[in-house]
Chain A
Amino acid sequence: MSTAWPARAPSNDEILHLLVIDDSALELELTTTTIAAGLPHAGIEALRDPEAALDAVRSGAFDCVFIDYNMPQLDGIELGRRIRAEFTHLPLVLMTAVGYDTLVAEAIRSGFTDYIPKDKISPTSARRTINRAVQVATQARLIEEQRQELEHFAYALAHDFKQPIRQIRVFADLLNTELGAQASEDATKHLAFLSEASRRLATLVDVMSQYTLLNKPPELGVLDLNEAVRSVRQNLEGFIVERRATLLADANVSVLGNEALLTQVLQNLVVNGLRYNRDERPHVSIRTELSGEGRRRVIVTDNGIGIESRYHEQIFQPLMRLHNVSEFPGTGLGLTITRKAVLAQGGRIWCRSEPGEGSSFIVELDAAPGAAPARAHNT
């Protein structure tokens, strides 16, 4: 998304480029004159037609835009919303005749950086408001840049390493057939270590790909939980048979979520329950209940080794391995990703468990259609 304002924060010495939008010629004159008195070096453009505002913002590199609230053609809040949709970090200030609390709250929700009641516009207050709005927006932009930076990093890890890792795996497999039975014990052992490391590499990169996918807000819809369980059962068929495990589900409900993410969440929890498990017949069950607030809880219970209560929060941290890798192999990222996938669907997840007593993971999602579906999109 491109924003038409300078990459650096304008300091006080720099010339600010401002846009003031007000349908009343008189008010417009008054406001621009007052601002000009506070910021004598600022370039100020005045605009009466709110319908033309978006084009004006697009064509000029403004540092701050003042918008009148009360404009019959197009109210200031709606105009602010439209500008915000295109210009993520452009400072927007709403000018109100009367500073109603409800109006101010709506303005901030719509993306305004600040507001100023018209009767409070003085050269000093205008200058202060502009400087502050620019500062807030600069801060937000810097944070956004940093976030993107980290995302690029994660993306590069996930993508640029796929091919070489695949190459390593292919040739490790080749070596396995070539080395043959007459190979020395050392060589056989070293190849086994090498294969093991290359398998972990592939898993790490897969996990990283999954994680980067979660950085975009997912589309949410009404999902049949039974469908998700069916997918999980299908995906894990081999794993379940191999472990002589059982998966029971009572999931005749619908939830608000994203199909791919919900399947991933359940699958990760089932795998987790069967993997960290010393029982001869590992077992996982899925059931649901309603929370006090009417949200849907999906509860995944296993008969595994259990988790001490002091770790109940930590297990969701990246690479928080409670166990020796050789006893319970895993990347240490499964639950981190699971939690991120739950959060992305507007839900939450926590754990109830005791050592030796198995674990329950509770995933709470919105239950019904229309129950605040916008929640996850507004991030």
Chain B
Amino acid sequence: MQMLQTREQEPGPVMSAAERELQDFSYIVAHDLATEFRHVAAFARLLIDEADAEAVRAHADIIWQSSTKCQRMLSALMDYSAVQSHKLTPRHWPARSVVERAIAELTAQGVGKGAQFEIDVSGQVFADARLLIMAMRLALLNALAAAPDGMSPRIVLRGATGADGAWIVDIADNGEGLAREYWEKAFAMFWRLDPDAPGIGAGLPTLRRIVRRHGGEARFLEAGGGAILQITLPGAEAGQ
């Protein structure tokens, strides 16, 4: 079957050259954009400090906000992309320790102070620890942000291994819930229900991408009160 060999060789180099080109291009542009955003933000900051007129300060502040937001978007986009190129090294981990580690990382960053976590998580996950902790952190950040103004966040996590060996966790928040029409949209990059809310809308798409790289899925479920985000990871055999 020498024909098959030529088939294998033919598309390979051509595609990878095109890939490399686009990859170089995207990353270089991303890097250049990052540099310019940094410059704009820095000079806007200087102008805010230097200007006497209130209007100038206000407008320089808008520029500063826009450019720092762009910096965050750009770095989120790089993270999102890195999920795909990250080499997976899946191992068995106690699911509860992944959740606890994610909460500990958030706490260390000063996020989620005053939040209540109810953790009822058992079973083992077969996953790349770094990515899964990142996914869990993003899920928790999403749930924390859902709490209505003036109320402290309350998050309930229930996770266990199902009959088919898949591990499933439901993450419920005490927010106002998410209308069914947004269940899919919420996973689109930079999509936000409320454009004025803090955040840039990169967390859920990155989370889903991590979960999907493990052969799993992330979705919203019907909930009585707040939203329920469900993450499913296949068992060790199916996930490889």
Contact = CB atoms under 8 A, between A and B. Distances in A.
Interface of A: 8, 104, 108, 113-115, 129, 132, 136, 139-140, 143-144, 146-147, 149-154, 156-157, 160-161, 164-165, 167-168, 171-172, 174-175, 178-179, 183-184, 186-187, 190-191, 193-194, 197-198, 200-201, 204-205, 207-208, 211, 215, 317-319, 331, 333, 336, 340
Contacts of A165: 66, 70
Contact of A156 (B19, B50, B77): B77
Given A143-B15, A168-B67, A204-B29, A178 B53 contact: yes
Nearest to A207: B29
A312 B224 CA distance: 66
A370 to B, nearest CB: 26
A197 B33 contact: no
A8 B4 contact: no
B63 A319 contact: no
B221 interface: no
A108 B3 contact: yes
B1 interface: yes
A108 B56 contact: no
Contact of A190 (B23, B47, B62, B73): B47
B111 interface: no
Contacts of A143: 11-12, 15-16, 19
B150 to A, nearest CB: 30
B187 interface: no
A160 B72 CA distance: 12
A165 B41 CA distance: 12
Contact of A160 (B6, B25, B190): B190
10 contacts: A132-B4, A136-B8, A144-B15, A147-B22, A165-B66, A175-B47, A187-B56, A191-B43, A198-B36, A318-B29
B62 A171 contact: yes
A179 B63 contact: no
Contacts of A318: 21, 24-25, 28-29
The 5 closest A-B pairs by CB, nearest first: A194-B43, A197-B39, A150-B22, A187-B50, A201-B36
Interface in B96-124: none
A151 B81 CA distance: 11
A197 B189 contact: no
A215 B18 CA distance: 10
- For A8, A144, A179, A194, the residue with the greatest tally of chain B CB atoms inside 10 Å of its CB is A194
Given A113-B7, A318-B25, A204 B77 contact: no
Given A161-B33, A201-B40, A153 B66 contact: no
A179 B21 CA distance: 43
A8 B26 CA distance: 27
Contacts of A164: 66-67, 69-70, 73
A157 B77 contact: yes
Given A153-B26, A161-B73, A178 B36 contact: no
Contact of A157 (B4, B6, B33, B51): B33
Contacts of B73: 160-161, 164
Interface string B195-239: 000000000000000000001000000000000000000000000
A139 B51 CA distance: 58
- For A129, A149, A153, A333, the residue with the greatest tally of chain B CB atoms inside 10 Å of its CB is A153
Contacts, number: 156
B176 interface: no
Nearest to B239: A8
B4 A186 contact: no
A193 B60 CA distance: 13
B24 A194 contact: no
A319 B37 CA distance: 18
Nearest to A163: B66
A301 B57 CA distance: 49
B179 to A, nearest CB: 23
Nearest to A143: B15
A167 B43 contact: no
Given A143-B11, A319-B28, A178 B50 contact: no
Given A114-B1, A197-B36, A200-B36, A190 B53 contact: no
A157 B30 contact: yes
Interface in B31-71: 32-33, 36-37, 39-40, 43-44, 46-47, 50-51, 53, 55-56, 59-60, 62-63, 66-67, 69-70
Contacts of A151: 22
Contacts of A156: 77, 189-190
Contacts of B43: 190-191, 193-194, 197
B84 interface: yes
Nearest to B212: A7
Contacts of B50: 184, 186-187, 190
Given A108-B7, A204-B33, A336 B25 contact: yes
A147 B84 CA distance: 11
Given A143-B19, A157-B30, A204-B32, A114 B25 contact: no
A58 B60 CA distance: 57
Contacts of A153: 26, 77, 80-81
Contacts of B15: 143-144, 147
Contacts of B66: 164-165, 167-168, 171
